[in-house]
């Protein structure tokens, strides 16, 4: 479903006087199979959002390949089958929740009774039924996050790309959302999720741990904890991070 092959991404430029390039992803290899949930896990600045932007075709790598459903960016056939929830809400504040959903649903090929049915389903799922005719500019941050997720899921995509989907949400909303994610994967959808929440990462089928633009470990949560001889993902990440920093120091 998603494949990174020896991907390098950097920003900035090289001039005759100085090399101002900053490497954000350093020879990344990663595969996300269909019908699974993969979590990108790591500290701020490690490259998670850059990987999301590459999957969405917002940017292309300096070298290497990123393929989604077998295609290179801009993913002409795959793009309509992708749902995206960015870290920052991409909603229209001056119209209602229902109007946002209708606009994005139409953009993704829904119409008529199918569009109406999905709008009703997503408003119910996000618990915004009573607020469907409220201007989104009057929504709280949590309400906007739930509406953003509803937009991403509206057209029932084969691939969901979710950048910090539960930030600012209470435990009950988080629980319901992750139950839906589990069901979507069981039904054959693929989910790529970034999060800082370790208990959410533990629910994923597999994890790619990033440090300094490199993937330092991949595998199921259980396999990663077994490898590091730890009993939780936070300790596992710290152990892997220390090991990665030690290797960097030895090669400096």
Question: Residues 7-35: what's their mean pLDDT?
Answer: 87
**What pLDDT is attached to residue 252?**
55
Give the whole-number percent of the chain exceeding pLDDT 90: 87
Whether residue 210 is contained in a domain is answered as yes
Look at residue 18 in the predicted model and tell me its pLDDT.
62
In a domain, 194, yes or no: yes
Domain contains 118 = no
- What pLDDT, on a 0 to 100 scale, did the predictor assign at position 244? 85
Angle between helices 141-153 and 171-186 (to 10 degrees): 10
Q: What CATH number did the domain enclosing 223 receive?
A: 3.40.50.300
pLDDT digits (tens, 9 = 90+) for 186-205: 999 999 999 888 999 999 99
91 domain residue, yes or no: no
pLDDT at 250: 65
How many domains does the structure of the chain reveal?
Answer: 1
Per residue in 47-79, pLDDT tens? 999 999 999 999 999 999 999 999 999 999 999
Q: What residues contact 204, with CB distance under 8 A and at least 6 apart?
A: 37, 38, 39, 193, 221
Residue 78 lies in a domain: yes
Q: Specify if 109 maps to a domain.
A: no
Mean pLDDT of 106-126: 97
Which residues, listed in sequence order, are joined to residue 192 by a DSSP beta bridge?
A: 38, 161
The answer to whether position 206 is within a domain reads yes
Q: Calculate the average pLDDT of the chain.
A: 94
As a whole number of angstroms, the distance between CA 157 and CA 186 comes to 14
Q: Classify residue 48: in a domain, yes or no.
A: yes
The DSSP 8-state label assigned to residue 79 in this structure reads G
Reported as a single tens digit per residue, the pLDDT across 208-252 is 999 999 999 999 999 999 999 999 999 999 999 998 887 766 665
pLDDT of residue 165: 95
3-state SS, one letter per residue, for 94-155:
CCEHHHHHHHHHHHCCCCHHHHHHHHHHHHHHCCCHHHCCCEHHHCCHHHHHHHHHHHHHCC
Whole-structure pTM value: 0.92
- Domain of 176, in residue numbers: 2-86+161-251
Question: Secondary structure of 41-77 in the HEC alphabet?
Answer: ECCCCCCHHHHHHHHCCCCCCCEEEEEECCEECCCCC
Contact assessment for residue 215 and residue 5, using Cβ atoms and an 8 Å cutoff: no
Residues 6 or more apart from 111 whose CB is under 8 A from it?
A: none
């Amino acid at each position: 479903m998603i494949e990174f092959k020896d991907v390098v991404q950097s920003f900035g430029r090289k001039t005759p006087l100085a090399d101002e390039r900053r490497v954000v992803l350093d020879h990344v290899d990663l595969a996300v199979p269909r019908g699974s949930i993969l979590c990108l896990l790591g500290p701020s600045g490690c490259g998670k959002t850059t990987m999301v932007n590459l999957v969405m075709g917002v940017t292309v790598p300096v070298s290497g390949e990123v393929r989604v459903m077998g295609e290179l960016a801009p993913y002409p056939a795959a793009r309509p089958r992708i749902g995206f929830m960015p870290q920052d809400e991409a909603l229209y504040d001056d119209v209602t929740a229902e109007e946002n959903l209708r606009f994005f649903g139409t953009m993704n090929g829904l119409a008529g009774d199918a569009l109406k049915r999905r709008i009703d389903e997503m408003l119910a799922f996000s618990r915004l039924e009573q607020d469907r005719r409220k201007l989104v500019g009057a929504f709280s941050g949590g309400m906007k996050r739930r509406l953003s997720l509803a937009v991403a899921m509206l057209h029932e995509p084969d691939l969901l790309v979710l950048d910090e989907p539960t930030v600012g949400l209470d435990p009950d909303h988080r629980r319901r959302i992750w139950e839906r994610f589990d069901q979507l994967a069981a039904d054959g959808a693929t989910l790529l999720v970034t999060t800082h929440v370790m208990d959410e990462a533990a629910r994923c089928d597999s994890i790619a741990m990033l440090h300094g633009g490199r993937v330092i470990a991949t595998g199921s949560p259980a396999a990663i904890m077994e490898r590091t001889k730890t009993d939780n993902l936070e300790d596992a990440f710290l152990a892997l991070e220390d090991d990665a920093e030690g290797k960097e120091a030895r090669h400096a």
